[in-house]
Chains A and B, each alone.
Chain A
Amino acid sequence: MLHFAYLMPLLPLAGFVVLATRGRRLGDPLAGWIGTLSVTGSFVAASVTYAAMLQRPAGARREVVQGWFNWIGVGGFQVKAALLVDPLSVTMVLFVTSVSALIHLYSIGYMRGDADYPKFFAYMNLFVTSMLLLVLGDNLLLTFVGWEGVGVCSYWLVSFWFERDTAASAGQKAFLYNRLADVGFLVAIFLVFSKTGTLDYLGVFSHLHAITPGTRTAIVLLLFAAACGKSAQIPLFPWLADAMEGPTPVSALIHAATMVTAGVYLMCRISPLLALSHPAQIVVGSVGAVTAFVAALIGCAQQDIKKVLAYSTVSQLGYMFLAVGTGAYEAAIFLMVAHAFFKGLLFLGAGSVIHGLHDEQDLKRMGNLRRYMKLSFFTFAIGWLAIAGIPPLSGFWAKGDILTNAFARYPVLWAIGLLTAALTAYYMSRLMALAFFGDERWREVLARPAGGAEGAGGMVPHEAPWVMAIPLVVLSVLAFFGGVLSLPWHPAWDPLQWLGPVFGSNLYSPVQSVGTKWALAIVDAVVALAGLGVALPLWVRRSEWPALEPPALRRALYLDDVYDAVLGRPAEAFARFTAVVVDNKVIDGAVNGAGRVVRVAGGALRRIQTGFVRQYALGIVLGAVVLLAWMASRALS
């Protein structure tokens, strides 16, 4: 059944083509259903592939390269368009397609009435296509194509409401940050090809001995730079917070299923290379841990409900990179899947709240919504407990896995990770308290005319339609049980058996006593509960604690201002210099100067043209005489 693997990226692509060409004709709900169905079909194909794989014995037999066609063949440079189907890529595809399908379903309700409804779903389908291409690509170049496709789709979707200046510039920002990072990817591709002469993963991994250790580190770090851009790690994370300008389902898609997980996936994919470079591992792990901590700190002071979630994504991605740096690739993938479930849930829940409050995103203008939006409250609460790491929800297991590995390998990074866990519980509880508990601070928001017929004062937040409710319920179930399911209940189910062969001996497996593991798990739970216990009473009681929201954290450590001062202003000044000085003086000067020279020369030369025919004739004769004299002198000498 593995022959059908190619359907996984092709179905969303077909959906994109249909929607892009016929979308307008299909109209409001139908276009959305087609988009949803194509991604659902892709999920079915992935499930079939997964089932087919489970029937094969573990190990190399579960690694299938499915060729399509020869894409580029220039001398020694041979690139095939082929899919690499192995447990890692199938795991990725499974959760990418399932979460994406749910988000598409949700969007049918959320985007209802938007003028560009079909276009939205066309972009979304292309987004999923690119992500699947990235994940399934058999070589670095095909992955890069998906990588860029994801980047450009995020640009289109973040600036989907481009009439708003903030949305347009947020899209540009996302694109520019990603482009900057992609340079690393390109250079890494060049390096890999020049050293090994091939680009497909399996080929590169079998030529690892041909690369010197320094070059290996360079390749890994260059790819990590690209991953930093896509997965929003320090110092390239500001774009992710601004990307909140897009419609909420887009945020969910970017944060949960596609795009940001690409960096972590890439690092896992090149694990044989990474495992050989100790310095690179330390860099990856440290950057991840520091990002996790800093982003969590910033998340504690944000007011916009979506920005809190955005920084929490940055923070969770930091955890994943910490795991990758530790060599615990499986733990990274585990958290990635769990994160896809609960972060998708949280974003869709936030979308539901925003929808119910007529596009109000300010936490300080919410409160006590649990009385009005029961379903959103319950599902959101599950997401909250899951990300906070309360047992037995998925976040607890995933985060615990990472921290256990970190404890054994880099105790310092473990300490940072633990502190971050407390902060995570704290800021998520703050969000929960501000949105669903406390005073009702949204009265005047709903009182202002919202443009609808029911825009009169005195109304209450309303619950979302059923297409938006179903994904919330499904995702909350997944977020709840996702972690428990990963426990080794049955040998065939054991995720170590499933993913393990992909990483082989590169996988870091610490030797820890059962007592240590229990102790670490209890510490995790206690820390999470402590964060919860501190935040809930504090923020339920009052919505304003200025001391806990220092401006430095509100402004995201002034990183935007730093970039503005270091890069933005000089670039602007340079642009102004070229516009005023280079363009006006140098280029215009050259053009105008050429014109002036011709005019002056023509003015001087026109005096020769006297109009007397006999004068011209004399000129010709004299010329002929001179010519003759010259020829005669040459002939005589």
Chain B
Amino acid sequence: MSLSGNWYLALSAVLFAIGAFGLLVRRNVLVMFMCVELMLNAVNLTFVTFARMLNDIGGQALVFFILVVAAAEVVVGLGIVVAIFRRRAGEGTTADDLHIMRG
């Protein structure tokens, strides 16, 4: 038995909403980072679903690009996160503390 595509789309929408919500409400940089990953993978799920529903390989191909970008992003992002935790150990590491780029 196979589920209809709409279920997958609904699941990815829920995942995406959770990610976006987490990004907005959490202050821990690492958790925000994980939320971004969640949103990315929700999008991946959407692409794959649509590729299946529309019989178009393009969607699946695009997922590979997203995976690559996400991997690169993890490398850079995690590096930054680690650096933040190391350098600002005493003076606050939440997202709201990091506002030195204020205009």
Contact = CB atoms under 8 A, between A and B. Distances in A.
B103 A609 contact: yes
A617 B23 contact: yes
B24 A621 contact: yes
Nearest to A624: B20
A611 B20 contact: no
A611 B96 CA distance: 8
B103 A606 contact: yes
A613 interface: yes
A612 interface: yes
B101 A614 contact: no
Contacts of A609: 101-103
B23 A614 contact: yes
A459 interface: no
B89 interface: no
Interface in B61-103: 95-96, 98-103
Contact of B101 (A605, A611, A618): A611
Tell me the interface secondary structure of chain A in the complex.
helix
Contact of A610 (B20, B23, B95, B102): B102
A608 interface: yes
A215 B24 CA distance: 85
A267 to B, nearest CB: 77
Contacts of B32: 613-614
Contacts of B23: 614, 617
B24 A610 contact: no
A611 B24 CA distance: 15
A209 interface: no
Contacts of A608: 103
Contacts of B96: 612, 614
Contacts of A613: 32, 95, 98
A25 interface: no
A607 interface: yes
Nearest to A607: B103
A605 B103 CA distance: 9
Interface string B5-32: 0000000000000001001100100001
Interface residues of A, number: 13
Contacts of A606: 103
Contacts of B102: 609-611
Contacts of A612: 95-96, 99
A606 B32 CA distance: 25
A611 B95 contact: no
Contact of A617 (B24, B99, B101): B24
Interface string A348-383: 000000000000000000000000000000000000
Interface string A607-637: 1111111100110010000000000000000
Interface string A126-158: 000000000000000000000000000000000
B103 A614 contact: no
Scoring A607, A612, A618 by chain B CB atoms within 10 A of each residue's CB, the highest score goes to A612
B95 A618 contact: no
Contacts of B99: 610-612
Contacts of B95: 612-614
Contact of A618 (B24, B98, B100): B24
A615 to B, nearest CB: 9
Interface in A587-614: 605-614
A394 to B, nearest CB: 91
Contacts of B24: 614, 617-618, 621
Interface string A500-522: 00000000000000000000000
B67 to A, nearest CB: 22
Nearest to B20: A621
Interface in A551-609: 605-609
B27 to A, nearest CB: 8
Interface in A309-363: none
Nearest to B27: A614
Contacts of A605: 103
Nearest to A613: B95
Given A614-B27, A614-B96, 8 more contacts: A606-B103, A611-B98, A611-B100, A612-B99, A614-B23, A614-B24, A617-B23, A618-B24
27 contacts: A605-B103, A606-B103, A607-B103, A608-B103, A609-B101, A609-B102, A609-B103, A610-B99, A610-B102, A610-B103, A611-B99, A611-B100, A611-B102, A612-B95, A612-B96, A612-B99, A613-B95, A613-B98, A614-B23, A614-B24, A614-B95, A614-B96, A617-B23, A617-B24, A618-B24, A621-B20, A621-B24
Interface of A: 605-614, 617-618, 621
| Minimum-distance CB pairs A-B, first 8 | A611-B99, A609-B103, A611-B102, A606-B103, A613-B95, A611-B101, A617-B23, A621-B20
